Amino acid sequence: MFADPVKNLKAFGLRETDIVADLGAGTGFYSVAAGAMVPRGRVYAVEVVRDFLATVKNKARDARLNNVEILCGDIEKINGTKLGDGIVDAVIASNILFQVEDKKGFIGETKRILKPGGKILLIDWSDSSSILGPNSATVIAKIKARAMFEEKGFVWQRDINAGAHHYGMILVKNNEK
């Protein structure tokens, strides 16, 4: 792992009562770390690969976290996460933007589930090589990622240091519904 979930989530500033969605949760590094940081909140680990969901469930159980809920969902489609409109305080999107085919759908679903003023921690690959990271053709430059979210009504709050091969930024859903 090249990005440290605990360090990145501390920079994100989760509160102990936050409702969090980890979109494209993978094997749960961020879901489990977030679950420990929001003991009076909830984390929805949303993933389409069922084997990964079992891994997240086991990691949460081993960490004695009862606030991590596993959801099989499509993060690229409106209503694909199966979460309600405007119920989430914070979204984690780590190493997923480069993978999603329908980026507009993904951003739209993120916006739909976030409360007004809710925020997203966007972490993705800043570079690639033949042995590290995704195919260089799929890497989304930081400036392009920021522009895609701003085009959909998000406001850039700040960048975070997400590691040697990643960029990180926090964006906020504007206060419109």
What would the mean pLDDT of 97-110 be, rounded to a whole number? Answer: 92
Report DSSP state, residue 138: G
What are 159-174's pLDDT values in tens digits? 999 988 889 999 999 8
Instruction: Specify the CATH class of 5-173 in words.
Output: alpha beta
What would the mean pLDDT of 80-91 be, rounded to a whole number? Answer: 97
Centre a 10 Å sphere on the Cβ of residue 52 and count the other Cβ atoms it contains.
Answer: 18
pLDDT at 177 over 50: no
The b-or-e profile of 6-26 (16+ CB within 10 A means b, else e) is eebbebbebeeebbbbbbbbb
What would the mean pLDDT of 89-103 be, rounded to a whole number? Answer: 92
Tokens read off for 115: 């409360």
Q: Is the dihedral of CA 35, 41, 46, 50 positive or negative?
A: positive
pLDDT at 70 over 80: yes
Predicted local confidence at residue 170, as pLDDT: 98
Q: Is 39 helix (H, G, I), strand (E, B) or coil?
A: coil
The residue ranges of every structural domain in the chain are 5-173
Share of the chain above pLDDT 70, in %: 90
What are 8-33's pLDDT values in tens digits? 999 999 999 999 999 999 999 999 99
Share of the chain above pLDDT 90, in %: 78
What mean pLDDT value characterizes the chain?
91
pLDDT band at 138 (very low <50, low <70, confident <90, very high): low
- Distance from the Cα of residue 22 to its chain's centroid: 4
